[in-house]
Amino acid sequence: MGGRIYGQAPRDCGLVDLQPTEMMFWQDLFIKPAKQFEPVLPANLQQFGPLIAAVMRAEGIDRWIDHNVFMCAKTLWVSAAESMNRRGWHTDGFMSSDINYVWSDCYGTEIWLADELVSLTQDHAASIDEMTFLAADPFYGSIVTYPDRHLIRLDETVVHRVAEYPVARMRSFVKVSLSKGYFNRVGNSINHQLPLPVAYEARTAERNVPASKEAA
């Protein structure tokens, strides 16, 4: 990990044409353990079956089976003042091998594309400052978004942030995370059909810290 790898483009895995309407807030729900093929989805989340199938297809069945899988699913009212995710430049799974697929029906994630890939200090706080500095200056790269309802694959090299929400409206956002570890922060959604096999740990205010612990 590390080196001049940051600022890469995500992979656009194409349209997944869902129109969720039920309000919800699921955070890092455990939906599948490694070595198992079938996800275990609460009834409210079964509507996202086509999106999960698209993740399986894009990632490949071997890698799908190889990883623990977690899911965020949020359909909420958003406005300039009320974001559903934390704002600011970051990478998902910084300094980890986690893979994240994101999907939204509006106000898509903003991606910073480096003209030349950059290295970042391998420290969660210093790297945030560096990303913020680089993305603010068009000399280093550009900011792009992908079409609504497209599934986008991110690894730790993709620098991105939540979009602004200038006009208040309902917004749906889904994230499917593949990890070798477990997302075990206190407060994460609990899958009552699939208990997390590790203890929960306190949630911290810091960001860009890997949400999961890599298995030893």
Question: How far apart are CB 154 and Fe ion at their closest, in Å?
Answer: 7
* Closer of 28 and 92 to Fe ion (Cβ): 92
Residue among 54 and 111 whose Cβ is closer to Fe ion: 111
The residue (of 187 and 197) whose beta carbon lies closer to Fe ion is: 187
Place of tokens 């994230």: 175
Nearer to Fe ion, 156 or 216 (CB): 156
Task: Compute the distance between CA of residue 185 and CA of residue 189 in angstroms, rounded to an integer.
Answer: 9
CB of 103 to Fe ion, least distance (A): 13
> Phi and psi of 177, rounded to 5°?
-115, 130
Nearer to Fe ion, 59 or 92 (CB): 92
Nearest to 101 by CA among 63, 59, 66: 59
Question: Which residues contact Fe ion by CB under 5 A?
Answer: 92
Closest contact distance (angstroms) between CB of 205 and Fe ion is 16
CB 118 within 8 A of CB 6: yes
Residue 160 near residue 106 (C-beta atoms within 8 A): no
Phi, psi of 192 (to 5 degrees): -70, -10
Cβ–Cβ < 8 Å for 165, 96: no
Q: 20 near 105, Cβ under 8 Å?
A: yes
> Least distance (Å) from Fe ion to the CB of residue 199?
25
**Is the CB of 185 or the CB of 194 nearer to Fe ion?**
185
213: burial class by Cβ within 10 Å (0-12, 13-18, 19+)?
Answer: middle
User: In whole angstroms, how close is the CB of 121 to Fe ion at the nearest point?
Assistant: 19
User: Least distance to Fe ion from the beta carbon of 109, Å?
Assistant: 7
Both structure tokens of 42: 């609460």
DSSP symbols for 103-133: EESSSPPEEEEESS-B---SSHHHHHHHHHH
Cα separation, 183 vs 88, whole angstroms:
21
The CB-of-197 to Fe ion minimum distance in angstroms stands at 25
Identify which of residues 1 and 194 has a Cβ nearer to Fe ion in the complex.
1
